[in-house]
Structure 1
Amino acid sequence: MRPTVAWLAGALLAACSTNHAEGPPPPDSAQAAAFLDTVEAHTFDYFWDLTNTANGLVPDRSPTPSFSSIAAVGFGLTAYPIGVEHGYITRDQARQRVVTTLRFFWTARQDSTTAATGYHGFFYHFLDMNSGARYQQVELSSIDTALLLGGVLFCQSYFSDPADATEAEIRRLADSIYARADWQWFSPRPPVVSLGWHPESGFLAYDWRGYNEAMILYILALGSPTHPVDTAAWSQWTGPYQWGTFYGQTHLGFAPLFGHQYSHVWIDFHGIQDPYMKAHGIDYFENSRRATYAQRSYAAANPGGWTGYSDRIWGLTASDGPG
């Protein structure tokens, strides 16, 4: 695997040291730490308690009956090592869950039929929780495969004991799963990557262009050891960027909060600037920090009059609600 990204062992919680005047003062540190500990514990419990232990598939939602989301599997794979570090589970419990998951994704059916789990190294957005086959008519998803791979590679980095056979298997499986993804095939209009593919109709007409959650997708595609996209893909992706001021924060815009968060789960963007960010004098971490404050200010202003929105209940993202 190319040394393209630095994988983190935890969430990025510290704010950038600059421009603190643009946001509210930090909360009491002891109270904030206790709150974050509670959030982490409950988040971990979702993945640990609800995952299908036979194949590692994580439900998209709960408590309603649900299909599995491959992106949720990627976040689950990331949660297990964090659970070890917090003492929620043992290292052996985590590696057994991880190796079960990676074995499933490596051996699951990969072909162009409608009953497969994936094709060309990519996977369908949603899978049946038990069989692991494609759920209904969903697309083969480039971004959700990238989020899955984020968790796969996180585990490859974490489970590094050279003397443990299971951890060695985890590293081999992670390498194989990443190397199998054919990013060139998923680029019918090169150098950019398509959003998705259907066995019934082929590639979707849309590609990943403009700022959103796909930073990790392009980093993985550019760093692929087997099927990398051309380096021009990054400039094509940044071409439609929109810089503006949103609720007092000047930053690269994307409305939902998840677009400013997902890639940061695995990659530390402190001090990393492409030409666009260098021209604007910030990095992607600072951009996400500003976007977060803008979200909070929006919820406090609550121009849509939604019940419950405030400076303490905020953060529009891909989720249910408000109803």
Structure 2
Amino acid sequence: MITVWLLAWVFTAGAQRKKEAARPQLGDSALLTLVQQRTFDYFWKFAHPVSGLAPERTPTPETVTIGGSGFGVMAIIVGVERGFVTREQGLDRLLKIVNFLWKADNYHGIWPHWMNGATGKTIPFGRKDDGGDLVETAFMFQGLLAVKQYFNRDTPKETELRNKITWMWNDAEWSWYTQGGQSVLYWHWSPNNGWSMNHQIHGWNECLITYILAVASPNFPVSPKVYHQGWAMSNYFYNGKSYYGIKLPLGFDYGGPLFFAHYSFLGLDPRGLKDRYADYWEQNKNHTLINRQYCIENPKHFKGYGPDCWGLTASDNHEFYNAHSPTNDLGVITPTAALSSFPYTPEYSMQALKYFYNKVGNRLWGEYGFYDAFNESVGWYDNQYLAIDQGPIVVMIENYRSGLLWRLFMSNPEIQEALRKLEFSSPWLK
């Protein structure tokens, strides 16, 4: 019996090595397209069959995520533009999503973090987190406003899509989430638990887009004062120190997890974007460079870290899940960190992409692209995908290649007006 098992193991291991050895060597452009298409498939093939929304992660297909699905609707635009699906197929899927969201649970026009993909009913994210999630909703509206600009043809279905997005955008009560007119936004509100989560949204983190959308709201806006007195008044907003000779304008020491440089900037174009606090291209690029240089220095001597293998951000790990960063380093590399940084560090992100694809290989590569994370020091390789990590890969590679999602989102007149109100400068503000 042991002999049979051993022979089977040898055969399987040999087949696996043969499979890895047969991996095609692709040019840079072809490799980028392959990664985009495989990762897009998470939002296309693995989408919930009723709602079209993205499951939170592969083992929980009934639990869909609003933020990750917001990244996913942007990925669908990429899929259409790259020819992975037709414009008509993309349009039909997005109409399914929008029609579902129209009827799904919402709290003053704000969706919950999680919902049931078949019914639209809220799935609590925590004991008291069973209502509206302003940040997750912001990620969805960032995507929907890009969709509205992309599907701009004068046809019945494209007109219907734009109209329904506009109606939901008009109905979202951003001002409600100031808890009675305070000069700060609150992350959560629940009809069962009220404001008991008591989570004010202060910078610097992934939530810049939340404030910009709140100011941009056509019917329920907040004043610029909320941005300046709420968002920009955190103890962790200003930084100004240098790490490895690289200056970091804002945020935590060493920058924090890299998703700070991604989530708000899938649609918000950081190129030339400045306000009284920072140059956001400098912020995001330098954050990325610091994160990579930390991995090169590798002070904890984790296996695999180096110029080709870098990227610390929130993800699965060998223990459960954590927000990995230079100040919270567990030896876990997360592909989305380097790959979603393509606009900021294209050469270094390509090095990482080739390492993940060619060197780590099938231990990290599956049906929907790269698995969420790995830790070579303990020999752990994830077998799951997470929507919030998959989406930025597709979108930010596309922004690097063509600027498509930046162009769509920034062309929205309400976004441009909000940026003016907040005294931003940007090439989009003529």
Q: Report if aligned partners of 1:213, 1:262 keep a CA contact under 8 Å in 2.
A: yes
Q: Which residue of 2 aligns with 1:267?
A: 268
Which residue of structure 2 aligns with residue 119 of structure 1? 107
Which amino acid letter does the alignment assign opposite residue 265 of structure 2? H
Matched letter for residue 232 of structure 1: K
Distance 1:305 1:196 in 2: 40
Distance (whole Å) between structure 1 residues aligned to residue 120 and residue 302 of structure 2: 38
Cα separation, partners in 2 of 1:66 and 1:257, compared to 1, 3 Å: farther
SS where residue 247 of structure 2 aligns? strand
Residue 161 of structure 1: aligned partner: 153
AA of the residue aligned to 2:97? T
Letter of the 2:260 counterpart: G
Give CA-to-partner distance per residue, 1:265-312, whole Å, 9 cap, x none.
1011222211112xxxxx212211111111111222233444443332
TM-score, length-scaled by structure 1: 0.81
* Partner residue in 2 for 1:180: 171
For 2:119, give the aligned amino acid: S
Classify the secondary structure of the residue corresponding to 2:48.
coil
Conserved 8 A contact 1:70-1:126:
yes
Q: CA deviation at 1:262?
A: 1.1
In structure 2, relative to structure 1, the CA distance for the partners of 1:320 and 1:96 (3 Å cut) is: same
Amino acid at match of 1:147: F
> Sequence identity, in percent?
35
Provide the residue aligned with 2:187 in structure 1: 195
Structure-to-structure mapping, 1:306-317, within 5 angstroms: 306-317=302-313
Q: Determine helix, strand or coil for the equivalent of 2:42.
A: helix
Asked whether the 8 Å contact 2:138–2:210 carries over to 1, the reply is yes
- Find runs of 4+ consecutive structure 1 residues off by over 4 angstroms: 63-66
**Distance in 1 separating the partners of 2:141 and 2:77:** 15
Which residue is equivalent to 1:136? Answer: 124
Alpha-carbon deviation of 1:233? Answer: 1.6
Q: CA deviation at 1:198?
A: 3.0
Change (3 A) 1:75 1:196: same
- The change in CA–CA distance for 1:208 and 1:106 in structure 2 (over 3 A counts) is same
Deviates more, 1:199-208 or 1:260-269: 199-208
**Comparing 197-206 and 145-154, the one that deviates more:** 197-206
- C-alpha displacement at 1:179, in angstroms? 1.2
The amino acid that maps onto 2:38 is H
CA distance in 2 between counterparts of 1:245 and 1:61 reads 36
Aligned match for 1:246, one of 228, 243, 246 = 243
**Partners of 1:98 and 1:135 in 2: CA distance:** 22
Match of 1:292 among 268, 272, 288: 288
Asked whether the 8 Å contact 2:103–2:120 carries over to 1, the reply is no
Per-residue CA shift, 1:18-75, capped at 9, x if unaligned?
xxxxxxxxxxxx9443332222112211111111132122111124556211011101
Alignment of 1:26-175 (within 5 A): 31-63=27-59, 65=61, 67-108=63-104, 117-136=105-124, 138=126, 139=129, 140-162=132-154, 164-175=155-166
Distance 1:222-1:88 versus aligned 2 partners, 3 A rule = same
* Unmatched 5+ stretches in structure 1: 1-29, 109-116, 278-282
Letter in 2 for 1:320: D
Deviation of 1:97 (Å):
0.3
Give the secondary-structure state (helix, strand or coil) at the position aligned to 1:186.
helix
TM-score by length of 2: 0.62
| CA separation of 1:136 and 1:214: change in aligned 2, threshold 3 A | closer
Q: Which runs of 5+ in 2 are unaligned?
A: 1-25, 318-331, 333-374, 376-430
User: Secondary structure at 1:267's aligned position in 2?
Assistant: coil
Query: Considering only aligned residues, what root-mean-square deviation do their CA atoms show, in Å?
Result: 1.9
* Pair member with larger Rg: 2
Q: Amino acid of the residue matched to residue 36 of structure 2?
A: E
Offset at 1:181? 1.0
Quick check: 2:71–2:140 contact (8 Å CA) kept in 1? yes
Q: Deviations over 1:93-133 (max 9, x none)?
A: 0000001100111122xxxxxxxx22100011011222221
1:212 correspondence with 2:205: yes
**1 CA distance for matches of 2:162 and 2:60?**
34
Aligned-partner Cα distance in 2 for 1:316–1:242: 21
Q: How has the CA–CA distance of structure 1 residues 250 and 91 changed in structure 2, closer, same or farther, with 3 Å as cutoff?
A: same
Alignment: residue pair count:
280
Structure 2 distance, partners of 1:120, 1:218, is: 17
CA contact (8 A) 1:53 1:97 kept: no
CA distance in 2, matches of 1:69, 1:250: 35
